[in-house]
A = this chain, B = another copy of it.
Amino acid sequence: MDTIKKNWYSESCELWPGSTFSFEVKEVLHDERSLYQHIQVFDTISLGKVLVLDGIIQCTEKDEFSYQEMISFLPLCCHPNPEKVLIVGGGDGGVARDVAKHPQVKEIVQVEIDAMVIEVSKKYLKFMSVGFDNKKMTLHVGDGFEFMKNHSHEFDVIITDSSDPVGPAVNLFQENYFSLMKSALKPNGIVCSQAGTYWDSMELVKNTLKICKNQFPVAAYATTSVPTYPCGQIGFVIGSLDGNANLLNPVREFSLEQLKNMDLKYYNSDVHKASFSLPSFVRYEIEP
Interfacial residues, chain A to chain B (CB-CB below 8 A): 1, 8, 10, 16-24, 44-47, 63, 65-66, 199-200, 223, 225-233, 256, 259-260, 264-268, 270-271, 273-275, 277-281, 283-284, 287
Contacts and interface: CB of A to CB of B under 8 A. Distances in A.
- Tell me how many chains of this kind the complex includes: 2
A252 to B, nearest CB: 16
A46 B18 contact: yes
Contacts of A20: 8, 21-23
Given A232-B225, A281-B266, A19 B21 contact: yes
B44 A18 contact: yes
B22 A47 contact: no
A175 B281 CA distance: 36
Nearest to A198: B225
Contacts of A18: 23-24, 44-47
Contact of A280 (B228, B229, B265): B265
A229 B271 CA distance: 21
A232 B256 CA distance: 25
Nearest to A8: B1
Contacts of A65: 281
Nearest to A279: B266
Contacts of A256: 280, 283-284, 287
Contact of A271 (B24, B230, B277): B277
A268 B279 contact: yes
Nearest to A63: B199
Contacts of A22: 1, 10, 19-22
A267 to B, nearest CB: 7
Contact of A278 (B17, B19, B270): B270
Going nearest first, the 7 A-B pairs with the smallest beta carbon separation are: A232-B232, A18-B46, A18-B45, A274-B274, A274-B277, A227-B231, A270-B277
B46 A16 contact: yes
Contacts of A260: 280, 284
A229 B20 CA distance: 13
Contacts of A24: 17-19
Contacts of A229: 232
A1 to B, nearest CB: 7
Contacts of A287: 256
Nearest to A62: B199
Contacts of A259: 280
A66 B16 CA distance: 20
Q: Which of A199, A267, A275 has the most B CB atoms < 10 Å from its CB?
A: A199
A264 B229 CA distance: 26
Nearest to A229: B232
Contacts of A277: 268, 270-271, 273-274
